[in-house]
């Protein structure tokens, strides 16, 4: 009974670890994940989802792109609605007014894709803010692998003696 419960728990841990690692696979191609925390870009970017963005030069943006930029208190992902000589004007799709900040090159983080992975951001944010859980998970997996190896080796030795 204990072994069954242990195996079920370990499978869940393996699945959660694989999901966490898959979230960060796009970083291999220079795409960075960003958890959506507000509904200003709904329905395109859903709250609790993850959007990926990549480095992008200010001169390469075109109207309709989703610009990711950093202000002192937040990272924002809003749609580009106008390009001026002084910078970019953005607006959240659900917002009634334009953003009250002119986006300049020094605060731009990049260009976001036009879709998000719904709800997975809650999980990524939780793990990211509780990194000790990731370390515990990895230690549990390593311990399980070592115990399984030891038990299978012990079984082989006992079979050879018989």
Say whether pLDDT at 2 is over 80.
no
Over residues 32-80, the pLDDT tens digits come to: 999 999 999 999 999 999 999 999 999 999 999 999 999 998 999 999 9
**pTM over cut 0.85:** no
pLDDT of res. 124 = 86
Give me 48's structure tokens.
Answer: 């609790």
Would you tell me which CATH number, out of the four given (3.40.50.1360, 2.170.120.12, 3.90.1150.10, 2.10.109.10), belongs to the domain 31-129? 2.10.109.10
pLDDT of res. 92 = 97
Over residues 116-139, the pLDDT tens digits come to: 988 999 988 888 888 888 788 888
Alpha carbons 1 and 19: distance in angstroms, whole number = 27
Q: List the chain domain ranges.
A: 31-129
């Amino acid at each position: 009974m204990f072994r069954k419960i242990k195996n079920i728990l370990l499978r869940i841990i393996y699945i959660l670890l694989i999901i966490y690692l898959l979230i960060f696979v796009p970083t291999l191609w220079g795409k960075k994940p960003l958890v959506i925390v507000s509904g200003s870009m709904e329905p395109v970017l859903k709250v609790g989802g993850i959007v990926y963005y990549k480095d992008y030069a200010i001169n390469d943006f075109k109207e309709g792109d989703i610009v990711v930029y950093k202000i002192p208190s937040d990272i924002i992902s809003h749609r580009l609605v106008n390009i001026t000589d002084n910078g970019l004007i953005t607006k959240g799709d659900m917002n009634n007014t334009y953003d009250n900040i002119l986006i300049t090159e020094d605060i731009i983080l990049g260009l976001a894709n036009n879709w998000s992975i719904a709800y997975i951001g809650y999980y990524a944010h939780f793990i990211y803010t509780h990194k000790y859980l990731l370390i515990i998970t990895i230690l549990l997996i390593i311990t399980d692998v070592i115990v399984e190896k030891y038990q299978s080796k012990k079984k082989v030795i006992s079979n050879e003696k018989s």
